[in-house]
Structure 1
Amino acid sequence: MPTLPLACACGRLNLSVRGTPITSVECHCDSCRAAAARLEKLPCARPMLDPRGGTRFVLYRKDRVQFTAGTDQLKEFRLSTGAATRRVVATCCNTPVFLEFESGHWLSLYGGLWPDGTLPPLEMRTMTGDLPDASVLPSDVPNLKRQSGVFFAKLLKAWIAMGFRSPRIAVGGEIRA
């Protein structure tokens, strides 16, 4: 299986992904847009939202993501206390690294980690029903109001392949944004 090295903007955090991703999406949910608006205000942070309000993710099985350096830089951000999702940032340069659902078996890696020209092609846009005007989106890929059956089928297939395991990813602390 091919391996692709990835890194934060300053290069202190290094990771690699192995094999084919579960899927490559652009999320337009209210939570992703709210989190991006807050995280983009951190010092030296790069934009997370595209001009139409989408957040780019590439979903990988957790067992196909390996952190090789700089994990001491990882901190979590939650939109609210007890939120079921956490967004993890490399605090050395405030690069968003991944979004994780509690007990999930996959990581939604932020598209900004990929070097220019290597980001897997977009397969679908999800949660477009949260946008004030979804008609601004191009029709180059499916624009789904919510997650689709195909989306959940891909996640289930990955979980089965992992033996129904959901590995934990340790993160050392939290950030406030």
Structure 2
Amino acid sequence: MTSTTHLTCACGKLEMVVTGEPFITTECHCNSCRDAGERMAKLPLARPMMEENGGTRFVLYRKDRFEITRGKDLLRGYRLSSTAPTRRVVAACCNSPLFLEFKGGHWLSLYSSLWPEGQAPKPEIRTVTGDRGADVMLDDAIPSGTWQTMGFYGKLLTAWIAMGFKVPNIEIKEEAVI
């Protein structure tokens, strides 16, 4: 039997359902995620995007295992520039961070803050820690490094193969540069 997880924005007007287990969970430290986190922190966000160490925790699902069951018209996308390949999506009703989507991507990186306190899947790896520079020390609680990153890309490819190389589109009517 396949499990489903119901997730909502902070005010409950938008509801999403994910089916099965995520294919990987991460804590990203790339410049883009940190820059977006800092810019979006100026919005009255209902939930946090970033961890205390500056990373962003994501729970990755294939797009074909994700559905918005209520409030699809409340999706608002933000990009770092008009040509940015990623967009961060929030619920317009309460500014709850929902997910990050890569242009042409077959997966969604859902913000772990969507899960109730203490119920989000724990991150398996840290990604793009090299963007942090030598002056930032991260603990060893979550593995990071070249081999883990190669495994991350392997899981992305395996998920895409399982989807038959499809790339479902998520339509968002309202989008802005932050």
Residue in 1 that maps onto 2:116? 115
Change in Cα spacing, 1:33 to 1:135, as seen in structure 2 (3 Å) is closer
Aligned residues: 177
Runs of 4 or more, structure 1, over 4 Å off, are none
Cα deviation for residue 47 of structure 1 reads 2.6
User: Which aligned pairs between 1:162-177 and structure 2 lie closer than 5 A?
Assistant: 162-177=163-178
Residue in 2 that maps onto 1:139? 140
Q: Secondary structure at the match of 1:6?
A: strand
Cα deviation for residue 176 of structure 1 reads 4.5
Structure 2 stretches lacking a partner, 5+ long: none
* Distance in 2 between residues matched to 1:81 and 1:147, nearest whole Å: 31
**Stretch of structure 1 that moved more, 82-91 or 136-145:** 136-145
* Distance in 2 between residues matched to 1:37 and 1:146, nearest whole Å: 29
* Distance in 1 between residues matched to 2:44 and 2:164, nearest whole Å: 40
Structure 1 stretches lacking a partner, 5+ long: none
RMSD: 1.7
Q: Is the 8 A contact 1:127 1:145 kept in 2?
A: no
Q: Is the 8 A contact 1:7 1:13 kept in 2?
A: yes
* Distance in 2 between residues matched to 1:129 and 1:146, nearest whole Å: 13
Cα deviation for residue 43 of structure 1 reads 2.3
* Distance in 2 between residues matched to 1:59 and 1:132, nearest whole Å: 25
Q: What CA deviation, in whole Å up to 9, does each residue of 1:75-100 have, x standing for no partner?
A: 11000011111111111111111111
* Distance in 2 between residues matched to 1:4 and 1:46, nearest whole Å: 19
* Distance in 2 between residues matched to 1:50 and 1:125, nearest whole Å: 12
Q: Secondary structure at the match of 2:130?
A: helix
**Stretch of structure 1 that moved more, 114-123 or 150-159:** 114-123
Cα deviation for residue 128 of structure 1 reads 0.7
Percent pairwise identity: 54
Q: Secondary structure at the match of 2:176?
A: coil
Q: What CA deviation, in whole Å up to 9, does each residue of 1:80-128 have, x standing for no partner?
A: 0111111111111111111111111000001111112221121000111
* Distance in 2 between residues matched to 1:142 and 1:3, nearest whole Å: 28
Q: Secondary structure at the match of 2:169?
A: coil
